[in-house]
Amino acid sequence: MHTLTKQAIFTATGLTALAAPTLAVAQSIDEKVNAGFANATGWFVNLIFMPFPGTSFPWIVAWLVTAATIFTIYFGFIQFRAAGHSISLVKGDYSDPDDAGEVSHFQALATALSGTVGLGNIAGVAVAVGIGGPGATFWMILAGLMGMASKFTECTLGVKYRNEYADGTVSGGPMYYLTKGFAERGLPGGRFLAVMFSIFCILGALGGGNMFQSNQAHQQIAGIVGDYPGWITGVIFAIIVFLVIVGGLQSIAKVTEKIVPFMGVLYVLAALVIILLNADQIGWAFGQIFEGAFTGLGVAGGMVGALIQGFKRAAFSNEAGVGSAAIAHSAVRTKEPITEGFVSLLEPFIDTVVICTMTALVIIITGQLAMDPETGLYIVEDGAIKTVSGASGVGLTSAAFGSAISWFPYVLALAVVLFAFSTMISWSYYGLKAWTYLFGEGKAKEITFKVIFCIFVVIGAAANLGPVIDFSDAAIFAMAVVNIFGLYFLMPIVKRELDSYWSRLKSGEIKKFTN
């Protein structure tokens, strides 16, 4: 992370005449903010990510995976039964442009994907494989497949209980279906849950969905062009972000529908090139994944360690059950809420099953994990697998890309910057909808939040705000605590929507749209 420097503060504020004495004050304040914030919020972070006794498995991951399993069974493995129809919906086969909503099925999917596909797919997977071994990939894929059912549940409800306004805009997400859905079922507490969700969503949007992204994007750029003040990156990003988000969701959707496919294809193609250059290792790599999933291959923690890391990475990557994606999907043009549930199924598949798996394969197949030549087992040091390059996280992924083609790390750096940018513009929308739920709709209130959001872009790129980021990450997963609790009470409503839609689709009542 880049610490806030004297020059950054002076140049940003125009106080260039103040010199050395302020440097000590600035650094001291930065350190005091970190320490004070950590002391004030550490209990909350520890509570959210607290592991089960005697394990390193956070209870919040178990909360997410358990919900995904329940929804998978309750809806009869809908993620597999509806895959073909989901693709037809994304293609626009059943889309009526006169339906209420702001964006197409594809644009809604792209916007939601831009919020989840990010640094976790690059750095987080490297950490998971580095600790849990190749076997973590198997459990990551499994958790991603089950998470598809969570997305299906929350995104269906998001559309069903959204607010539609006279100007054609809509507002939806957990805060609306918690309020309306609980009231419809005669259950108390819906409004309270919605307020709690909104508060956590705003905090998560400003931190993990904003400051962390701009901070890491700056680190990637500085790693190539050389160190320079982080506020410069922050201001550039803030201007671009503001120009996109000031136009509302339709503006965001127009950007994400182009940038998400581009960055996804760019990253996957780069990974495929590396895999094909090492084609003779593909069979061995998959063997390592399946064997490691059930034996651990000598990794510290064995099978349990691989399972924990795989489930953790999937949960942290695709955000299934967090409720964030339901906000984006709520704006789709449709009169059938269940259709967006079908479309959202594809999100964890693309994010986790495809992109995360590609990252893991590149690391494994290029031999970045050190093995003992005599035993064939991975060498473990300090609870993690020793790497050939000595790197971990995004550095490990970069080393894997660079081992094949020297300039590939530049492609990776571009992908990281695009991932960070797309995540920021999507989370700006999530935070905005939580903001307007709490404070009311209106242009002035929207602009206020958008300006605040862009200020935090600059702060994130310039400052060392570790505890703040930890807190905002915890806030994002606190969203899941509230959201999933509500989903358990509302999933019978989704079941009725599903049964009704399927019967009408099979009877021919629902037909493909033709102009």
Mean pLDDT computed over 333-353: 88
Highest mean pLDDT among 83-92, 246-255, 304-313, 468-477 belongs to: 83-92
Q: What is the DSSP string of 337-358?
A: HHHHHHHHTHHHIIIIIIIIHH
Highest mean pLDDT among 147-151, 248-252, 354-358, 508-512 belongs to: 147-151
Q: With 80 as the cut, is the pLDDT of residue 486 above it?
A: yes
Neighbouring C-alpha atoms within 13 Å toward the C-beta of 461: 30
d(CA 494, CA 394): 39
pLDDT recorded at residue 14: 33
Q: What is the DSSP string of 1-31?
A: -PPPPHHHHHHHHT-TT--HHHHHHHHHHHH
3-class DSSP string for 462-473 = HCCCHHHHHHHH
Mean pLDDT computed over 160-177: 86
- Count of positions (residues) in the chain: 515
In the DSSP assignment, the letter for residue 122 is I
C-beta separation of 99 from 335 below 8 A: yes
Burial (CB < 10 A; 0-12, 13-18, 19+), residue 473, is: buried
% of the chain at pLDDT higher than 90 = 21
Mean pLDDT computed over 408-418: 79
* Six token digits for residue 65: 């995976």
Q: What is the CATH number of domain 99-506?
A: 1.20.1740.10
* Six token digits for residue 273: 């090139």
* Six token digits for residue 379: 């060498």
* Six token digits for residue 312: 């953790």
pLDDT digits (tens, 9 = 90+) for 205-221: 988 888 888 887 887 78
**3-state SS assignment for residue 436:** helix
Q: With 60 as the cut, is the pLDDT of residue 2 above it?
A: no
pLDDT recorded at residue 300: 55
pLDDT digits (tens, 9 = 90+) for 109-142: 877 777 677 666 777 788 788 878 888 888 888 9
pLDDT tier, 7 (very low <50, low <70, confident <90, very high otherwise) = very low
User: Measured over all CA atoms, what is the biggest interatomic distance in the chain, rounded to whole angstroms?
Assistant: 78
Q: With 70 as the cut, is the pLDDT of residue 226 above it?
A: yes
pLDDT tier, 294 (very low <50, low <70, confident <90, very high otherwise) = confident
C-beta separation of 145 from 348 below 8 A: yes
Mean pLDDT computed over 364-373: 83
pLDDT recorded at residue 184: 93
pLDDT recorded at residue 20: 43
pLDDT digits (tens, 9 = 90+) for 8-64: 322 333 333 344 444 444 444 556 656 776 777 778 888 888 888 777 778 888 898
d(CA 90, CA 340): 9
Q: With 80 as the cut, is the pLDDT of residue 201 above it?
A: yes
CA distances from 72 to 91, 293, 482 (A): 25, 22, 20
3-class DSSP string for 134-163 = CHHHHHHHHHHHHHHHHHHHHHHHHHHCCE
pLDDT recorded at residue 5: 32
Q: Quote the pTM value.
A: 0.83
Q: Among the listed ranges 208-222, 300-314, 469-483, which one has the minimum average pLDDT value? A: 300-314
pLDDT recorded at residue 514: 64
| Closest residue by Cα to residue 352 from 297, 311, 408, 402 | 311
Mean pLDDT across the chain: 81
Q: With 50 as the cut, is the pLDDT of residue 480 above it?
A: yes
